[in-house]
């Protein structure tokens, strides 16, 4: 039963133990997949753009499509001023996308001690997504105060509201602002966690049916097709959640650029 | 006996928590339905509203995910 427990896939193992002054700073399989995501994206973008052909080849087309996609997203939700944050949003989007996608490997036998023989979704741990969303909020607040000074507080006092209503509207705006990092991180984390648990639960059905060692094992073909379909859906979710994270970042940055709505 | 009672509460709680997704399901359905309705009437304007669509979807879906998270926590962590 231990093998079919859908939660074991999220376990963190130490690859290279390291302890500094009582702090456990071990290099884990989570860190390994973060490095893998960063290195592969860097290699892809560096190799794809080193020729800089006027008529792009296959690799360059991928890089240009990604660039154009994110640039359009930033421009449409944060305006041309928002383009100064393009490198940040692009990095965030690509990192989350690569992290989600490397988690989609059902079987990935890497000869490294401590790394399981399947992909590990770094974004299925709330500490990773919360760190990313706190970084976003720190930049929104930091840049908003730097650019607008006290006018940044106009974010909590929307224009065009009868003054009496500020008693209600301002606390609501403050609460909604404070819950942003939580909803931003929990959305990504819970989507990836729930999706991968779902895949493993259905995969567990196949194992259990075959383990009966009777004609019931043939029924296992049904959850198998279900898993294939769900995997396709999970690829869509992996992309969509990276997109949602990036577009919400753009919208929050827009607040920092134009706090008075 | 004691453990059995705890398990019972856990599973009932997880089932009840999943009911929260009902609201999110209706909300998400409403968003995409309304978007299609608007897009069919004015297909030219639909393309620019894709970002708004995804934003509304994400904000609504988050609430359903929160209740699913409670259910998963009850099942596997508590």
Would you tell me the crossing angle of helices A180-211 and A126-148 to the nearest 10 degrees? 160
Q: What is the ipTM of this complex?
A: 0.71
Distance from CA of B37 to the nearest CA of A (A): 22
Q: Give the C-alpha separation, A140 to A135, whole Å.
A: 9
Summarize pLDDT for A56-94 with one digit per residue, the tens. Answer: 888 889 899 999 999 999 998 888 888 999 999 999 999
Residue A119 phi/psi, 5° resolution? -65, 150
CB count in 10 Å sphere of residue A201: 15
CA dist list (Å): A187 to A135, B14, B59 = 16, 19, 9
Distance from CA of A183 to the nearest CA of B (A): 7
Q: Which candidate in A4, A69, A190 is best for mutational testing of the B interface (most B CBs within 10 A)?
A: A190
Name the residue ranges covered by the structural domains of chain B: 2-76
Residue A244 scores a pLDDT above 80: yes
Choice among A38-47, A83-92, A161-170, B64-73 with the minimum mean pLDDT: B64-73
Q: Give the C-alpha separation, A132 to A140, whole Å.
A: 13
Mean pLDDT of A2-31: 81
Could you give the maximum distance between any two Cα atoms of chain B, in Å? 64
Q: Give the C-alpha separation, A174 to A196, whole Å.
A: 34
3-class DSSP state for residue B19? coil
Q: Give the C-alpha separation, A170 to A243, whole Å.
A: 30
Pairing state of beta strands A27-28 and A23-24?
unpaired
Of A76, A77, A186, the CB nearest to B66: A186
Distance from CA of A244 to the nearest CA of B (A): 7
Q: How is residue A113 annotated by DSSP?
A: T
Residue contact A244–B58, C-beta within 8 A: yes
Distance from CA of A158 to the nearest CA of B (A): 20
Mean pLDDT across chain A: 88
Residue A2 scores a pLDDT above 60: no
Residue A110 confidence class, pLDDT cut points 50, 70, 90 = confident
Q: Give the C-alpha separation, A108 to A151, whole Å.
A: 51
Report chain B residues touching chain A, CB-CB < 8 A: 48, 51, 54-55, 57-59, 61-62, 65-66, 68-69, 72, 76
Residue A34 confidence class, pLDDT cut points 50, 70, 90 = very high
Percent of chain A with pLDDT over 70: 98
Residue contact B66–A77, C-beta within 8 A: no
CATH 3.30.420.40, applies to B2-76 = no
CA dihedral defined by A49, A54, A55, A58, rounded to 10 degrees? 0
Of B48, B54, B66, the CB nearest to A244: B54
Q: Give the C-alpha separation, A105 to A118, whole Å.
A: 6
Confidence (pLDDT) at A97? 95
């Amino acid at each position: 039963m231990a093998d079919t427990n859908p939660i074991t896939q999220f376990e963190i193992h130490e690859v290279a133990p390291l302890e500094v002054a009582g702090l456990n700073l071990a290099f884990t399989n989570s860190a390994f997949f973060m490095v893998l995501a960063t290195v592969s994206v860097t290699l892809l973008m560096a190799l794809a753009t080193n020729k800089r052909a006027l008529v792009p080849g296959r690799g360059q087309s991928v890089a240009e499509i990604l660039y154009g996609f994110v640039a359009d997203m930033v421009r449409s939700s944060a305006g041309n001023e928002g383009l100064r944050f393009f490198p940040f949003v692009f990095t965030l989007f690509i990192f989350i996308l690569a992290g989600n996608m490397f988690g989609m490997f059902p079987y990935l036998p890497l000869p490294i001690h401590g790394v399981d023989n399947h992909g590990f979704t770094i974004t299925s741990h709330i500490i990773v997504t919360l760190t990313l969303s706190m970084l976003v909020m720190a930049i929104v607040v930091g840049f908003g105060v730097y650019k607008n000074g006290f006018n940044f507080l106009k974010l909590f006092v929307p224009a065009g509201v009868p003054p009496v209503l500020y008693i209600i509207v301002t606390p609501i705006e403050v609460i909604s602002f404070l819950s942003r990092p939580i909803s931003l991180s929990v959305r990504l984390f819970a989507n990836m966690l729930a999706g991968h648990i779902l895949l493993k639960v259905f995969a567990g059905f196949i194992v259990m049916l075959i383990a009966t060692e009777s004609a019931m094992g043939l029924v296992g073909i049904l959850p198998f097709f279900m898993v294939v379909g769900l995997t396709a859906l999970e690829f869509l979710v992996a992309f969509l959640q990276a997109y949602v994270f990036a577009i919400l970042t753009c919208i929050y940055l827009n607040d920092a650029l134009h706090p008075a709505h | 006996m004691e453990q059995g009672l705890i398990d019972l509460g856990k599973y009932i709680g997880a089932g009840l928590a999943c009911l929260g997704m009902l609201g999110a399901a209706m909300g998400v359905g409403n968003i995409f339905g309304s978007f299609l309705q608007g897009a069919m009437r004015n297909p030219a304007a639909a393309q620019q509203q894709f970002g708004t669509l995804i934003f509304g979807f994400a904000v609504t879906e988050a609430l359903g995910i929160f209740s699913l998270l409670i259910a998963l926590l009850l099942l596997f962590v508590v």
